[in-house]
Chain A
Amino acid sequence: MNDMIRIDDLVFKYTRDDTGEEVNAIKGVSFAIEKGSFTAIIGRNGSGKSTLAKNINALLLPTSGFVYVNGYNTSIQENLWDVRQSAAMVFQNPDNQIVSSIVEDDVAFGPENLGVESAEIRRRVDESLKAVNMYHNRKKAPHMLSGGQKQRIAIAGAIAMKPDCIVFDEPTAMLDPKGRSEVMAIINSLNEEGITVILITHFMEEAAEADRVIIMDDGVVRLDGTPEEVFSHADELREMNLDIPMPVELARRLRARGIDIPADIINIEEMVEYLCQYR
């Protein structure tokens, strides 16, 4: 029972509204995610990442196979609210997930839906807003805030439900570099506080911060391991049109010229430090 999420041979098919034609978005995926871990999921557009995320949150239910969240089988109707409360979700577009015209009322939306009692909601809202550094903006209207700030409100809304796990579906894709680094800092600090993080992204530098990287392609898992292991499969990544983090690419080219760089160096700081000491 140390698994936050267990996915067993998940298959998911969409039926298109217009043609009735079936789209096979997930073609047999199995993996488990440990409690408290930080996993990044990468893959090109259309590889099935969002579909997988929605299956974890019971927004979509498996066509076949099983998804267990905190031990709850998502396919069982009675588990629905436990599943969604255990595994919260933050979406890509910050504008389209904020419900209320006042920041603090929006953060209260999740706990209100769970029927939490007023004083406790107040406490959670204040706590969550402080955790994302937006407490001073609690009375503002969301449309007056920047994209990064709105995304932090959405994260506060997820935290206020007291989830064990948060699934982030490309949360930084629509943000400027400043907003991106703010959001990444919050994701890291949430993970340090014990929340299991699943981060879907197409920024390799973000994935390099995770404990584990899963690469999806065409509805299946292609690579799965620590960032070091996964990034060492440079040829496969390139074949899937995925970028390789700059330091990893640099290390590969240096190695090709006979300079021996350890495989665990994947971020810029470590690389700079290593090269400065190299002789």
Chain B
Amino acid sequence: MLRDITLGQYYPGESWIHRLDPRVKIIAALVYVAALFIVDNLIGFAIALAALAAVIIISKVPLSFILKGLKLIFLIIIFTVIMNLFMIKGGDVLVEIGPLSIEEKGLYTAFFMAARLILLIIGSSMLTLTTKPISLTDGIEALLSPFSKIGVPAHELAMMMTIALRFIPTLLEETDKIMKAQQARGADFESGNLISRAKSLIPILIPLFIGAFRIAHDLAMAMEARCYRGGQHRSRMNAMKLSGRDAAASVMLAVFLAAVIVIRIVL
């Protein structure tokens, strides 16, 4: 169940997009999200859609793989669209079904809202689909490090993400083991109402938390033994280097942003 979520999942590959520097990709994703809020007409959306389509095609990540993980999120979007369609009033009445009606303004708002959300979600998941989690944390650390002078804990945040990535599978395994052990003793997690089901989770959560604290204690000691002393004095095996590819991507990104802004002003 937990394994089906693709949001934040990496799709291994060697495409042009995969090989971009993580810093460039993070900035591109941020710019893309910002652009979606600048866009306010159909031509703008067409450009944003074309840009996303190009990225998907170049990255060679199958569309079915991207969409598979977003089912739940699409359900939420559909719900929002329906709410907007019927609730927002203004302009000509387009459809009337009994007491409900769809008016021009509602249709517009619902359409733009849906387009924006879908592009936003697919656009940002392209970042995680084409970037190894470990490169992503390196990229975040590098981008935040200029702000460490004003107190942003760039290295610490990146280290926390690295460790979380490392131990999520371990904790999932642990949960599975504890659940099986409890079920073998007659515990029942599936029946009963919400409250009794929530209660049946307590015997899982307690050993899980104790286990997590144990891991944290052992790991801290092991890290110290390996001379860990925070971000200072630390070097990296894979130093990030910008290449011609990254320059090209940055130019394209700038052109895209300029186009979106021009269209907003002109139309």
Contact = CB atoms under 8 A, between A and B. Distances in A.
B215 A95 contact: yes
Nearest to A158: B226
Identify which of B215, B223, B227 gathers the most chain A CB atoms within 10 Å of its CB: B227
Contacts of B221: 54, 59, 91
Interface in B214-250: 214-215, 218-219, 221-229, 233-239
Contact of B225 (A89, A104, A111, A122): A89
B258 interface: no
Contacts of B175: none
B137 to A, nearest CB: 10
B134 interface: yes
B169 to A, nearest CB: 4
Given A97-B222, A102-B134, A142 B237 contact: no
Nearest to B239: A118
Contacts of B214: 96
Contact of B165 (A101, A118, A121): A101
A151 to B, nearest CB: 12
Interface in B158-209: 162-163, 165-166, 169-170, 173
Nearest to A110: B226
Given A59-B221, A81-B227, A113-B227, A100 B237 contact: no
Contacts, number: 98
Contacts of A164: none
A109 B226 contact: yes
A88 B165 CA distance: 25
A177 to B, nearest CB: 22
A141 B169 contact: yes
Contacts of B169: 141, 143
A88 B239 contact: no
Contact of A115 (B219, B224, B234, B239): B234
A175 B169 CA distance: 20
A57 B222 CA distance: 11
A85 interface: yes
A104 B236 CA distance: 12
Given A89-B225, A99-B163, A143-B170, A122 B219 contact: no
B13 interface: no
B218 A97 contact: yes
A59 B218 contact: no
Contacts of A57: 225
A101 B162 CA distance: 7
Interface residues of B, number: 30
Contact of B134 (A85, A88, A101): A101
B133 interface: yes
A182 interface: no
Given A95-B170, A96-B214, A143-B170, A59 B134 contact: no
Given A95-B215, A100-B162, A100-B166, A84 B225 contact: yes
Nearest to B164: A101
Contacts of A157: 226
Contact of A161 (B170, B218, B222, B226): B226
A57 B136 CA distance: 33
Given A91-B222, A116-B235, A101 B133 contact: yes
Given A95-B215, A141-B169, A142-B166, A113 B237 contact: no
A28 B157 CA distance: 42
A93 B219 CA distance: 10
Contacts of B228: 109, 113
A142 B168 CA distance: 12
A269 interface: no
Contact of B233 (A85, A98, A115): A115
A52 B227 CA distance: 19
15 contacts: A57-B225, A88-B225, A89-B225, A91-B225, A96-B214, A96-B218, A99-B226, A101-B162, A101-B165, A102-B134, A105-B237, A108-B236, A115-B234, A121-B237, A157-B226
Interface of B: 132-134, 162-163, 165-166, 169-170, 173, 214-215, 218-219, 221-229, 233-239
Interface of A: 54, 57, 59, 81, 84-85, 88-89, 91, 93, 95-102, 104-105, 108-118, 121-122, 125, 141-143, 154, 157-158, 161
The 3 closest A-B pairs by CB, nearest first: A97-B222, A96-B218, A108-B237
